[in-house]
Amino acid sequence: MFDRVLVTGGNGLLGTKTIELLLAQGRHPISASLEPDVVNRFLGDFPYHALDITDAGAVRGLLSSLRPDAVIHTAAFTAVDACETQRDLSRRVNVDGTANVAAACREVGARLLHISTEYIFDGESGPYREEDAPRPISHYGLTKLESEKAVRESCSDWAIARTTILYGKAPNVRPSFVAWLVGKLECGESVRVVDDQIGSPTMADNLAQMLLALLDSGYGGVYNTVGDSIIDRHAFSVLAAELFSLDFSLIERIKTSELNQPAPRPLKAGLVMEKFKRDFPNVPVLTAQESLELLKSQMGR
């Protein structure tokens, strides 16, 4: 079990849940994020460092001084449409930033667990296994695929965890899709949700469990780490509304093409979890219903 674990993107939803679990297990997490201040001090006492991962010298200097046992790299530019319109920035963060982290891990002998995405696939023939050939159709997907390549080339002890449709609840972080949906429906507002995007919704709490199991195992290579349901966005939204006892008739069914988004989305996607379940039989992989029930409890509904 790795004790001193540096979590990049520690102010985000996944970073917060990962730090929370590390603390609960009696470990010593270190948080690093672009923001000057820590937002999740409510979790407990842990070191925090402001870090721009696109600054190779800063990354090298921080890891050299901290000497972490392992790094969980959650920091990324994940706004899919913004990646399409801000290509240089998204490449600097997702590709160059990851290469900087990977190289620094190699120099200090730290194990690296890098977070990737199902958006490396085109969404024409999902759900996808780890060995399926990637074909990104958005700039975000392309940069994440290139980030995987950077990890393989720049680090000696690494694993890659692919995930998607992350949601959950934590103070001081950007509301996830489910929180947004529940808020709208509670106010009696109608929402439009696509029914032609199929994926694997993943609760951040459950993902953190999977990440730490993969980190500690020492296993290398690529693992899918998502929820145990493959479902379209509209059906997922209706399930959430039903579990929260809200009016699901307010959820209008639409097609992705009607949104006119800058970045194309993989439609028939989702990730197969056979490999993870085989190698980690004691780690829970929650269905969409199980995750939503947990989230409902966390939200006090």
Q: Please give the tally of structural domains in the chain.
A: 1
Q: Cα separations (Å) of 86 from 79, 81, 233?
A: 10, 9, 26
Q: Is residue 262 part of a domain?
A: no
Q: Does 219 reside within a domain? A: yes
Residue 259, in any domain of the structure:
no
Dist. CA 99–CA 186, nearest whole Å: 43
Within a domain: 16? yes
140 is catalytic: yes
| Domain carrying residue 130 | 4-168+201-227+271-286
Question: Is the Cα dihedral 284, 28, 33, 175 positive or negative?
Answer: positive
Within a domain: 175: no
The answer as to whether 238 is a domain residue is no
**Alpha-carbon distance 122 to 268, whole Å?**
8
Structure tokens at 193: 């949700």
Sequential pLDDT tens for the chain (301 residues): 999 999 999 999 999 999 999 999 999 999 999 999 999 999 999 999 999 999 999 999 999 999 999 999 999 999 999 999 999 999 999 999 999 999 999 999 999 999 999 999 999 999 999 999 999 999 999 999 999 999 999 999 999 999 999 999 999 998 899 999 999 999 999 999 999 999 999 999 999 999 999 999 999 999 999 999 999 999 999 999 999 999 999 999 999 999 999 999 999 999 999 999 999 999 999 999 999 999 999 998 7
266-281 burial, b at 16+ Cβ within 10 Å, e below that, comes to bbbbbbbbebbeeebe
The pLDDT value given to residue 135: 98
Tell me if 133 is assigned to some domain: yes
Query: Which pair of structure tokens corresponds to residue 152?
Result: 């393989």
Indicate which residue of 119, 128, 140, 223 is catalytic: 140
**Is the residue at 31 inside a domain?**
yes
Query: At a CB cut-off of 8 Å and minimum separation 6, what does 129 contact?
Result: 224, 271, 272, 274, 275
> Residue 19: which CATH number?
3.40.50.720
